[in-house]
Amino acid sequence: MLAHHCFAGRSPLMAEAQNGTACAVLPLVQEQDHLVSLANYYSFSYAPIFEQAEDTATRLTLMTRIAADLRAKHGCISLYPLIDDDDGMPGLLRRAFARAGWIAILTPEGSNHIVDLEGRSFAAYWKSRPGALRSSVQRKGKSARFTHEIHHNLSDALWSEYTGIYAASWKEAEAYPAMIRAIAEEATSRGALRLAITRDESRAVAVQLWTIEGETACIHKIAHDSAEDARSPGTLLSHHMFAHMIDVEKVARIDYGTGDNAYKRDWMERARPMLRLDCFDPWRARFWLPALRTRISNLVGRRG
């Protein structure tokens, strides 16, 4: 979907390596004079795809081969967003590219907000939320006469309501609206879509696009009609969705995706650093200055 909707006209490069029955694929795409990960702001995270390669040593061997092959034709590669999901993947990628002769620099760039439920009920989770958020939901919930719906199947009528609310919200116009619909359609096909709508009588005033991936609920998009700010339909819809995901769907984790928006800290409990891996071929002189700038930026960021 990313290749079709967001990188149209550019052929993806699927860098591959195999070691016996184990194999790895690193999806990339050309951007000006360097390669970048086949990912963008719609991506919750980025990582290689492995088959029959569960142990670290095998994965490191495969990624080192890919890094060496790429260096034969390319002088600069950037991979983002990398997240250490307790698997050490960003560090493994840095070691692999360094072993293949690249200058490989890992730099923090943004955060990913999550909450791990660890078997808690919604009541237990909600009790730990900031007092201002809980008070706001209690106060606004009493005065507002909203109803909430959760749809598992996308339809043209629902999509029309979604796009209408998004257009009336505070958010900038969607860069790739067809991509968002493709996400919703694909999720519908495997029973993973949770499209939530808040209504004032029959009129839609807030919408949220979630999917369920294994034991994780992923929040892709939220929006509400800006004319309804005073009644906080978006906050009340979030309250409804978190309660549903925790007590009904029984998810183990809720992932708010990329971005450091302040409101995410009210709902989430942990912020994981997103990392960028920039790799430069030291034998190509035109990449010396970019490599130096990246190294300096990395050092300054650590001191900060």
> Do residues 123 and 246 share a domain?
yes
Residue 88 DSSP SS3 = coil
Q: What is the pLDDT of residues 52-97, one digit of tens each?
A: 999 999 999 999 999 999 999 998 999 999 998 878 999 999 999 9
The pLDDT, as a whole number, for residue 33 is 80
> Do residues 12 and 64 share a domain?
yes
The pLDDT, as a whole number, for residue 187 is 98
Residue 172 lies in a domain: yes
Residue 115 DSSP SS3 = strand
> Do residues 55 and 128 share a domain?
no
The pLDDT, as a whole number, for residue 184 is 98
- Show the low-confidence residues of the chain (pLDDT under 70): 284-304
- Residue pair 183/220 in contact by the 8 Å Cβ criterion: yes
Round to the nearest angstrom and report the end-to-end CA distance of the chain: 37
3-state helix, strand, coil in the chain (%, to 5): 40, 30, 30
The pLDDT, as a whole number, for residue 11 is 85
Q: What is the pLDDT of residues 139-175, one digit of tens each?
A: 999 887 899 999 999 999 999 999 999 999 999 999 9
Task: State pTM to two decimals.
Answer: 0.89
> Do residues 89 and 170 share a domain?
no
Angstrom distance (rounded) from CA 105 to CA 287: 13
Question: Which among 246, 216, 251 is positioned nearest to 83, based on CA atoms?
Answer: 216
Question: Which among 40, 106, 48, 129 is positioned nearest to 273, based on CA atoms?
Answer: 106
Range list of H helices, the chain: 56-71, 89-99, 122-127, 131-143, 156-167, 177-189, 233-243, 262-267, 288-303
> Do residues 127 and 49 share a domain?
no
The pLDDT, as a whole number, for residue 282 is 85
Angstrom distance (rounded) from CA 69 to CA 30: 16
> Do residues 11 and 60 share a domain?
yes
Q: How many domains does the chain have?
A: 2
**What type of residue sits at position 232?**
S
CATH value at residue 241: 3.40.630.30
State which residues form the domain around 245. Answer: 119-251
